[in-house]
Structure 1
Amino acid sequence: MRAITILFFLLSCLFISCSKDTNDTYESIPEYPNVKATFGNTIDLNNLENYDNQFVPSYITKDNSILNPISNKGATLGRVLFYDTNLSVDHTIACASCHKQENAFGDNALMASNGVNGVTGRHSMRLINTRFATETKFFWDERAASLEIQTTMPIKDHAEMGFSGTNGDLSFDDLITRLEGIDYYKELFTFVYGNEEITESKIQNALAQFIRSIQSFDSKYDSGRTLVTNDNQPFPNFTQNENTGKNLFLTPPQFDGNGSRIGGGVGCAGCHRAPEFDIDPNSLNNGITGTLSNTGIDITNTRAPSLRDLVKQDGTLNSTLMHTGNIATLQAAIGHYNTITIAPGNTNLDSRLRPGGNGQQLNMTGAEMNALQSFLLTLAGSNVYVDSKWSSPFEE
């Protein structure tokens, strides 16, 4: 009898132990049939893409994601929202329509991007390494206080995606009602947030997580930077021309009293700060004051995307440059900064471009211009164009 009692006790302990281990160790992911039916193999909720633990080089120190950390779940929802044309009133435009993976998440349109009721007011900005920057404001004129706020502003714009609630447009609440009627969103919002409720802040957080996950650190510059202790050292993998261009980029210029360069470098890093190549938040406008409508002047453009992936690895531009999209080559961009002309009415020109109150005259030689361009080409990566976790989930 005693032996039977001991055996029963041991079996009971084993059963309790196994049951506890099963409950504590394994998370059961519910079936989400509509996600499976819509996205097939592009999204596997049991095996999410890696968004939250990507490799970041040790020399990259800026990070503006602290208030909305990237999660695999949140970025997965953000990816769907980013590519979904249901976010425009006529089901034709998504965020990805103006921010294309094949163009480093910029637009290869010459100037304006197409919307549902017209075109964008400025050239679409590339979305590379937005996380790795001190600047937290968005749009060329910094009118959005954060990336989160920015993400839904194009949706609520009459010309862009059309849920403005004005001019006879549907409102953002109408968009939420639309999304609430889509079965895969019921499942995805439950998966990410624990319930089906859809709110603007949830949409904003998910979109911002996906956008901040888009990163590029596989350029020739990065390969060289890992071999040295700071940017000022010659990179062993660079040509002499590329190292010369790097020195020109990093070294501040010396000017005479008339704003003419008499020594030093050309000082690009004063505004475009290595190694992230993000824009200094204190920057003012760069001397380009045109508008896409060709009426009046625009002196409010003080932000710029990272200089990483200006071009593809074959040297072709991902998109035309500046908020007007009116500069079509790197040579032309370098030429603009070589000779700054202060346009009438431009009271917001950055002080670094008007030494002594005069537009800077860098007086670069042809060889210096060529070297600077060669350096900018080293900032081109390759993975960002092909990585499936940033591609459309609607395409198998």
Structure 2
Amino acid sequence: MKRYALILGILILAACGRAGEGTYELDAAYTYLGADFPLEPPLDYSSTAPDYITRDNRLDGDVDNRKATLGRVLFYDKQLSLNNSIACGSCHIQAHAFGDSSQQSIGLDGGLTSRQSMRLVNTRFAALPAMFWDRRAINLRNQVTQPIEDHIEMGFSGTGDQPGFDSLLTKLQGLQYYSELFDWAFEQEGTTINKQRIAQALEHFVSSIESFDSRFDEGFAAAGDIQGSYSNFTPAENRGKFLFRAQPQLDNQNVRISGGAGCAGCHRPPEFDIDPMSGNNGVDKEAGNPAGFDTTNTRSPSLRDIFGPDGSVNTPMMHTGNFLEFTTIVEHYNEVIPDVNNRTVDERLVRGLTSVKLELTSTERADLEAFIRTLTGSNMYSDERWSTPF
């Protein structure tokens, strides 16, 4: 431990190449922090979202390349945890659309989070700025430092025997590379490292993560809307698209007699973000606690990139992480069972104490999954801008 602390204490940021090139790397002898990335010019973090993507909840316009670069370092640096074991990128993994492949994320000393870590892809492109499953953070900038201050996740909670956020600031101020990077990112020598600037840099980085190179995007761009058949889709994918977007026609017993499944009522294309007016989805248990009751979860990540490029599910689904296959998602929504203790369930799923019964056939269920698979992109999973610099 003493040797490890000493190594961290003597890390230096060295300029490489000709003067003015501005490429910085940490001393190669220190493999843990062997970062190597260009600073002049920085990588371009500007959005390439197509014109038909109109929802945008960023606080102050376009992403700043310098602040996003600093945010990238902060996002992947385990120094932001109390025992140097956890980074934001430990639970929000690029290979999984910036979600976690585990049902519950592992924090300090093996502690488990109470909810599944939400995928961060396309966080910016949603009408609802609030973050976390229960919307307790008013926006992304408010959210990004909360895991750092969580007693289970990263440990600078200020509760019990854990130090508070000020201790993290002291820690980062002692790392020479952060003095250099904060000065560079905020374009002022002697920039103070504080919570506000950490949040701002992380928010610029996370809000830059996007995925718009899917087969759906190809079809939408060619057709101009979501209504008709897409020439690049299979018949099953087009049928699934209809089921997704069309509202169900119900009889007086709330049984579907025609139409679609109405998924687009809550998950609105082409962003596939959650309708801000959505109630909870009837999954009322706490993660890892079948007896626990939790009906505050009314937010959802974008439905884009539920599946990875290899065809497998990127992360367990729902706030509980109990849904490991997409088929179980469809089964759940096929008929959400009413619960007298759940009074905030979305009325599109349960009306009074009567379920909306979609009665999807096995073919329709397969068609819906086929459509959801068209929402998967490819570039996000390998783009250097969002990969670890360490």
Q: Give TM-score, length-normalised by structure 1.
A: 0.89
1:362 to 337, 358, 363: 358
Preserved contact between residue 51 and residue 71 of structure 1 (Cα < 8 Å): yes
- Residue 11 (structure 1) aligns with: none
1:230: Cα distance to partner? 0.9
Aligned to 1:352, the other structure's residue is in SS state coil
Matching residue of 2:104:
112
Q: Which residue of 2 aligns with 1:17?
A: none
Query: For residue 267 of structure 1, what is the aligned residue in structure 2?
Result: 262
Match of 2:305 among 294, 306, 309: 309
- Structure 1 position 36, deviation (Å): 7.3
Contact 2:135 2:298 in 1 (8 A): yes
| Residue identity matched to 1:181 | G
C-alpha separation in 2, matches of 1:45 and 1:31:
5
Partner of 2:134 in structure 1? Answer: 141
Question: 1:176 corresponds to which letter in structure 2?
Answer: L
For structure 1, the residue ranges without an aligned partner over 5 or more in a row are 1-27
Judged with a 3 Å threshold, the aligned counterparts in structure 2 of structure 1 residues 58 and 68 are, in CA distance, closer, same or farther, namely closer
Q: 1:201 to 1:255 in 2, by over 3 A?
A: same
Judge conservation of contact 1:259–1:361 (CA < 8 Å) in 2.
yes
Whichever of the two has the greater Rg, that structure is 1
**Which stretch of structure 1 is more off in the superposition, 276-285 or 112-121?**
112-121
Structure 2: how far apart are the matches of 1:260 and 1:280? 23
Give the AA of the match of 1:247: F
Number of paired residues?
Answer: 365
User: Are 1:282 and 2:274 matched, yes or no?
Assistant: no
* Alpha-carbon distance in structure 1 between the residues aligned to 2:293 and 2:372: 29
Of residues 375, 380, 383, the one that matches 1:384 is 380
Question: Which residue, out of 60, 63, 79, partners 2:56?
Answer: 63
Residues of 2 paired with 1:264 and 1:331: CA distance?
20
Q: Return the alpha-carbon distance in structure 1 between the equivalents of residues 145 and 352 of structure 2.
A: 42
Q: Which amino acid aligns with 1:300?
A: T
Are 2:166 and 1:170 aligned?
no
Q: C-alpha offsets along residues 55-112 of structure 1, whole Å, 9 cap, x if unaligned?
A: 2111111111143631100100000000000000000000001000011100001x11
Q: Is the 8 A contact 1:242 1:375 kept in 2?
A: yes
Match of 2:172 in 1: 179
The one-letter amino acid of 1:143's match is R
What SS does the aligned partner of 1:361 have?
coil
Mapped contact 2:25–2:36 kept (Cα < 8 A)? no
1:197-231 Cα distance to aligned partner (Å, 9 max, x none): 11111111110110111100111111111111211
Post-superposition, which runs of at least 4 consecutive aligned residues in structure 1 deviate over 4 A? Answer: 28-41
CA contact (8 A) 2:105 2:117 kept: yes
Once the 2 structures are TM-superposed, how far is the Cα of residue 35 of structure 1 from its aligned partner?
A: 5.3
Deviation readout 1:337-382 (Å, 9 max, x if unpaired): 0011012311110111114641211001111111111000000111
Asked if the contact 1:99/1:126 (under 8 Å) is kept, the reply is: yes
Q: How does 1:62-211 map to 2 (within 5 A)?
A: 62-67=55-60, 69-109=62-102, 111-117=103-109, 118-193=111-186, 194=188, 195-211=190-206
* Cα deviation, residue 314, structure 1: 2.8
Which sections of structure 2, spanning at least 5 residues, go unmatched?
A: 1-18
* Aligned counterparts of 1:30 and 1:172: Cα–Cα separation in 2: 35
Shift in Å, 1:273: 0.3
Separation in structure 2 between the aligned mates of residue 379 and residue 36 of structure 1, nearest angstrom: 41
In the alignment, residue 324 of structure 2 is paired with which amino acid?
Answer: A
Partner of 1:240: 235
Distance 2:35 2:364 in 1: 50
Partner of 1:7: none
1:216 aligned partner: 211
Q: Is this contact kept in 2: 1:164–1:170, CA < 8 A?
A: yes
User: Contact 1:34 / 1:183 at 8 angstroms: preserved in 2?
Assistant: no
Equivalence map 1:28-39=2 (5 Å): none
Aligned match of 1:43: 37
Which residue identity is paired with 2:343? T
- Tell me the residue number matched to 2:296: 300
Deviations 1:149-206 (A, max 9, x none): 1100010000110000011101100000000000010000000111331111111111
Higher mean C-alpha displacement, 340-349 vs 84-93:
340-349
CA contact 1:179–1:185 (8 Å) conserved in 2:
yes
Residues 105 and 51 (structure 1), Cα distance of their counterparts in 2 relative to 1, 3 Å cut? same
The letter of the residue matching 2:57 is N
Structure 1 residue 294 displacement after superposition: 3.1
Distance of 2:62 and 2:105 partners within structure 1: 30
CA contact (8 A) 1:257 1:356 kept: no
Task: Decide whether aligned partners of structure 1 residues 296 and 167 sit closer, same or farther in structure 2, where only a CA change above 3 A counts.
Answer: same
Aligned to 1:368, what secondary structure does the other structure show?
helix
Identical amino acids, percent of aligned pairs: 46
Moved more, 60-69 or 274-283: 60-69
Shift in alpha-carbon separation, 1:182–1:68, aligned structure 2, 3 A = farther
Alignment partner, residue 345 of structure 1:
341
> Aligned with 1:43: secondary structure?
strand
Query: Does structure 2 conserve the Cα–Cα contact (< 8 Å) formed by 1:79 and 1:390?
Result: yes
- Is the deviation greater in 59-68 or in 321-330? 59-68
Aligned match of 1:325: 321
Q: How far, CA to CA, are the matches of 2:224 and 2:387 in structure 1?
A: 35
